[in-house]
A and B are shown apart, each in its own frame.
Chain A
């Protein structure tokens, strides 16, 4: 892994431990040159030199609204999009977080902003900085472990600094073509695949979702249930605490959406899918979704992030 990144930055003077370097004459002496055709026939995909004019980079849209009925904002969101390009490769690195705070007094707001700050700074420090470090630091932890540690740090900080406050947290870390989701609460992450359908990637930690799952109430009843705001897992609340973490492939042509319940609670998945697919770009999609939620009453803060990886 470290050698991979190293390669981006030191491609010409590669000092990385590779097979060919260990035995510099290996290829020549061991048949590659003798029978180059046997393998040279293999198609080796290489980007033409002028392909950099049209790099397939992550395109991000963000929208946020306090909503019609609320007078203050308890949502917090964070986006970071970078592209590391070298030679024939591009590595996408993106971090996207939405937190929906809750709880008495001002601690809901504090909790959600503490959550995004803590997670973002942890991921940047433990993953992103080593990634672009010229000294080629070796990562000891897995990407899931880094995300988990960040969320747990956020949880502990809220318990210290925003007593009684809690927050949802739904985040996605994109690295190359893999997307790792860390999630607590009832904000959501969706994948809009090339097949055009919206797939829910997260599971709401809410009482009504659970009641729906065990057949006590219907999906329709869930939408209007008086306890639909009750969560059984939230950052800053309860011990033991564990976020849901999962990794999915992020294929070219697909789009990721993260949103708070101020959006998904008002617009159906089908409607959201139509808006995302028909919008010219993620920013327009985010704006249109927010306008739609507000025109449906806007009872809550609305936050939405859409990330597109073009084909």
Chain B
């Protein structure tokens, strides 16, 4: 063994540091510099405001809840907003204090139910303070975080109308209109009566030091023109539109590229929202300010008009059903009925389709007409997906055997006994059949002779289908292991999930992907078993992932079909069916096909996960569909095998 440590190099601030420094950095010493000190409870400002607690901390200072001592007999609470003036240059420092006082003076004159009153302001040393009416309530960012479900359309429209009212008040302020500049959920308080109030007027902006060189702007709610330093009434309406978009979709624009609202259509994320309200929000969000509503009043009118149309104003039932895309034109080319449930996945080969059923038979049918060709009876149910190889068909059965059957005649060539039911499907490579069994062994069997080359003890039943990549075989076990073994059955590495790995591993770009009953989908380095990433679902998954382009698709017992970015593990979309998804999704052209235990075969848009159509069978669909010659084949627990022309 040899470990080479080659380079350890820091270049910071023009200084080059050597290896020695690198080693020291393993245990960084906390810097003695403190964050700006906060006022402690009990401190009294200008002999009047006694600090009770910190409410929030921002980049420029903190917000406190304080008691106003001018009211000794009642507990009058006020909010104290503190802004720290960090500028050392005396002229600039004074300018900032001056600007603060000027703006505070303007704010102190405002009088509107949706604006907290400003009672007082003062400066102490390098800190400026605003004393503001204390609002009992929560801001919308907190409310969003604490809730799981979408807000109702009525709720959001109500708040939107109140916010248009207050914006109209500000924009019509005399002599100068006031532009709020920073509408976003965290600046909107919902009080205990459920009304929206605008808080945190952009006064803190005065304290942001002018920056040279590269600038930073981070606000996902800001309109394009704000980056140029322009702020107008229409900029506030854009930010209101962005806020409404966030409230309706629950997608945080700060986590997305700027100006990308059109790429996250409200109704594709939340189909319960009316197209009327969606149109109002997108008008406010137009890139060109001239295409937005000219004033808050006109936006309010549009909101009212949309509410009238959708009946919200008349308190009619607000819930609207998502459009049903159930296409009646989807009808099967043929269906074939056997005598018990079909839980597994078919295989198409050379104009025939092969499917196992729980009536113990393996069936061969004509793939175009669905006509019966032959069947072969085993002594147990068949859930494994058959594999065609060199003129023969290989599959396992609950009767503990692996069968090799002639593709054409349906005659048995050989059968091989394991010591447990076989639910794993065969993987054939290098002249060998690799298959797992409930007897806890992975079996390697000569494909021609049916004689065992070796078997490897995995310590638990193997229902996962093995995968051979290069010189290594990968498979999961019911104990939660994922094994990588070489072609002689020796373990190269072993990864342990917290629950069973029934899902079968798949491979791309040197990475093995597999799902587990522990609710995670794993990406593991094929060479070492390192976890590259984990993707969390709500419930267990026994679905085998499917890779297409840079996406990986899988299903879960949580009823969802997931589309996840292969490189970043970011969820692209998920589609919720009405019951568990235990089979696997597959993609074909620009669609995703996947069955659900709710009995439906779903066809979804590849990019968005939107429903194209669904086809109802009379029993759960637990297997994976396959596509050959533009025909979709899948079995159902209603005993039938279906063929649908795409």
Contact = CB atoms under 8 A, between A and B. Distances in A.
A216 B287 contact: yes
A19 B212 contact: no
Interface in B10-53: 10-14, 22, 25-28, 31, 33, 35-36
B70 interface: no
Given A77-B11, A161-B31, A178-B525, A132 B3 contact: yes
Given A81-B7, A85-B4, A118-B28, A176 B527 contact: yes
Given A19-B490, A166-B216, A214-B287, A144 B533 contact: yes
B209 interface: yes
Interface string B557-576: 00000000101110000000
Nearest to B36: A163
B9 interface: yes
Given A102-B216, A240-B252, A245-B568, A76 B13 contact: yes
Contact of A31 (B287, B452, B510): B452
Contact of B2 (A86, A129, A214): A86
Contact of A116 (B10, B455, B523): B10
A23 B455 CA distance: 11
B350 interface: no
Given A1-B528, A3-B491, A27-B489, A164 B209 contact: yes
Contacts of B486: 44
B454 A31 contact: yes
A19 B31 contact: no
A142 interface: yes
Given A82-B5, A227-B228, A233-B218, A103 B211 contact: yes
Given A216-B287, A237-B218, A19 B528 contact: no
Nearest to A103: B211
B626 interface: no
B4 A57 contact: yes
Contact of A1 (B215, B217, B495, B523): B495
Contacts of B218: 231-234, 237-238
A117 B23 CA distance: 11
User: Main secondary structure on chain A at its contact with chain B?
Assistant: mixed
Contact of A143 (B4, B208, B219, B531): B531
B28 A210 contact: no
Contacts of A227: 215, 227-228
Contacts of B26: 121, 124-125, 129
A42 interface: yes
Interface size class of A (residues with CB under 8 A): 35 or more
A133 B260 CA distance: 46
Contact of A176 (B4, B522, B528): B528
Nearest to B252: A240
A8 B2 CA distance: 9
Interface string A84-124: 11110001000000001011110011001100111011001
A77 B94 CA distance: 38
B454 to A, nearest CB: 4
A254 interface: no
A30 interface: yes
A5 B431 CA distance: 32
A19 B458 contact: yes
A223 interface: no
Nearest to B4: A83
A45 interface: yes
Q: Among B430, B490, B492, B532, which residue has the most Cβ atoms of chain A within 10 A? A: B532
B619 interface: no
A39 B258 contact: no
Contacts of A44: 471, 486-487
A143 B533 contact: yes
Contacts of A40: 488
Contact of A230 (B212, B227, B490): B227
A167 to B, nearest CB: 9
B111 to A, nearest CB: 32
A43 B14 CA distance: 53
B72 interface: no
A293 to B, nearest CB: 16
A68 interface: no
Contacts of B3: 82-85, 132
Interface string B202-236: 00000011111111111110001001100000000
17 contacts: A20-B490, A32-B453, A39-B453, A44-B486, A64-B11, A72-B14, A102-B216, A103-B211, A117-B25, A160-B35, A175-B525, A177-B525, A207-B227, A232-B258, A245-B568, A247-B533, A303-B11
Interface of A: 1, 3-5, 8-9, 11, 16-20, 22-23, 26-27, 30-32, 35, 38-40, 42-45, 52, 57-58, 60, 62, 64, 66, 72-87, 91, 100, 102-105, 108-109, 112-113, 116-118, 120-121, 124-125, 129, 132, 139, 141-145, 159-161, 163-164, 166, 175-178, 180, 205, 207, 210-211, 213-214, 216, 227, 229-234, 237-240, 242, 244-249, 303
